[in-house]
């Protein structure tokens, strides 16, 4: 019983800890995001259907549609038709 409870708790903790922003590309083609985090500006290519973790501590993202969004670092973002939907 104890082991069971411990296993349950550790599973919950592992699953529940806050993580970086996840970006999922729902489009049929690779999406190229421009991520500005800290001092650096980098391009992140996310292939169709893939999920990437970006910017754990806040950043700005420019989506393929040209929109810019600010991210705090704990959001789930989906790329649909080249624009971002933040959940």
Partner 1 sequence: MRFVGKLLAVSVCLLSLAGAGAVVAQTAKPAQTTTQPAQTPAQAPAQTNNQPAQGTQPAQGGAQPAQSTQPAADGKAQPAPNGQQPAGGTAQPAQNAASPTQDAAQANDATIAADAGQSQTAEQLATAGKELKRLKELVGKASDDDIALAELKVQVDAVAKQIISTSIATRPRLDEIKARLTELGDPPGEGQPPEADIVTAERKRLLAERGEINALTGEAESLSVQATKLSNGITATRRALFSNTLLKNTDVSFEMFDEALTATINETKVLSRSTMSWLTFVWNYKRVPLLTALFLSICAALVFLVGSNRLFSPYIHHDKSDEEPSYFRRLSVAFWSTFIPTISMGAFALSSFFFMHSFNVLRSDITPIIAIALAVTVVGFFVTTLANAVLSPSDSRWRLVRVSDRGANVLLITIFAMALVNGLDFLFGGISESLGSPVVLTVVKSFIASVVIGLIIIASAWIKPTLKKDEPFDAPGRPWPRIVSIGLILTGASLIIAAAAGYVGLSRFIATQIIITGAILVMMYIGFLTGKAVSRQGAFAETAAGRYLERRYKLEQVGLDQVGLVAGLSIYALVALFFIPLILLQWGFQVADIESWTYRAVTEIKIGTITISLMGIMAGILFFILGYIVTRWVQRWIDGNIMARSRVDAGVRNSIRTGIGYVGVGLACLIGLSAAGIDLSNLALVAGALSLGVGFGLQNIVSNFVSGLILLVERPFKVGDWIVSGTTEGFVKRISVRATEIETFQHQSIMMPNSLLINASVGNWTHRNKLGRSEIAVTVTYASEPRRIMDLLAEIAGAHPMVLKNPSPTVGFTAFGEDRMTFELRIYVADVLTGGGVRNDLRVAIYERFRDEGIGAPFPLKIEDVPVEDQTGIESHEPETVGEPKGATSADARAAAAKKEAASAAPLDEENEEEGGKRRASSRRSNPNR
The binding site for partner 1 (CB under 8 A) comprises 1, 4, 8, 11-13, 15-20, 34, 36, 38-39, 41, 53, 56, 58-60, 62, 64-72, 81-83, 85-86
Cβ of residue 34: shortest distance to partner 1, in angstroms?
7
Residue closer to partner 1 by CB (options 9, 47) is 9
CB neighbours of residue 85 within 10 Å: 14
CA angle 23–29–86, rounded 5-degree value: 25
**Residue 60: beta bridge partners?**
36, 70
Cβ of residue 31: shortest distance to partner 1, in angstroms?
11
Q: How far apart are CA 6 and CA 85, in angstroms?
A: 37
CB neighbours of residue 11 within 10 Å: 10
Residue closer to partner 1 by CB (options 44, 69) is 69
Cβ of residue 83: shortest distance to partner 1, in angstroms?
6
Cβ of residue 44: shortest distance to partner 1, in angstroms?
14
Which stretch of DSSP H or E encloses residue 37? strand 31-37
């Amino acid at each position: 019983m104890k082991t069971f409870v411990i296993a349950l708790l550790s599973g919950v903790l592992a699953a529940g800890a806050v993580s970086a922003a996840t970006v999922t590309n729902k489009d049929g083609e690779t999406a190229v995001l421009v991520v500005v985090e800290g001092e650096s500006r980098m391009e992140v290519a996310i292939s169709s259907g893939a999920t990437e973790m970006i910017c754990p501590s806040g950043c700005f993202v420019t989506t393929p549609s040209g929109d810019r969004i600010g991210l705090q670092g704990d959001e789930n973002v989906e790329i649909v038709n080249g624009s971002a939907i933040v959940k």
